[in-house]
Chains A and B, each alone.
Chain A
């Protein structure tokens, strides 16, 4: 059981940092307006040279391989919810680092989801 929770800890930390970097990178890139094939190719090449996105992909890759290891020893219905506690940390960092206006609905929503996660695990 403790190995599972160690993996959950690694996944939560890497995921939180990964998504924070991803949000920073996409903010730097700006809003995506076009969705045809050529635009997708341009988007991917722009993102491949964005430092925030590169750091984000590295963090999320670490999270992904830890997740693979977790799935090999735990149920999907344990693995996915247990790692969802990263949501609370993401919301805190969205407020502190990204300066998003997190109102009571978002705090309550993130809190409820986290409690739901605790029950699921």
Chain B
């Protein structure tokens, strides 16, 4: 947004005050997140500036304590398992959705992505009541099922997006050369839509890793995840260990974002229509 040469004083004032406004909004977005990171290295137990000195003791406590250790383990078990199930179910369904037009397709799509739209507390309450009948509350199975459901919409959306630029003639070519449908899927479709599948999987994992409402309803004491521990930590006693956990989650978010950006660029390059 460069200023044209003929800009009047009014234009200039407007131009610079607008830039200042945007800068202030970005400060509002980023500063709170970054103000956490230095404090997590504070040697004192205070949660405010100025810092006393540098120390890694809160990280030691985070990785050393049984409570957080269990939470890390639970988050990984639940996050990775639900990611795998959501990715498999979501990818096959997305391929189906984009394969043909059929009556009620819009409704089916709306149903499949509804977990993203329905308030989390409703999902949590419904599954809690349902699992109470099946004895699935306070079990890993219950939590993995719940998080699979929550991750599915993201897989469907990302995979559908890559499928839109997928050339179905490739499948026909494969079939006409004698490949079985399964072979066509694994050798032709999957490699082509891999970036979408991979982003969908990451979305599903991130959703599970950040989810706390369903965990609060369904998990027992031995299934508490990182966000669940953070929630009770913020509620009950604000300790610097929370800041160490938060910093690690921020680093994780940064890595996740960069990976997704790379995937997006890659799939754009791969799937660019011919002639562009």
Q: Do A and B come from one complex?
A: no
Q: Which residues of A contact B (CB under 8 A)?
A: none
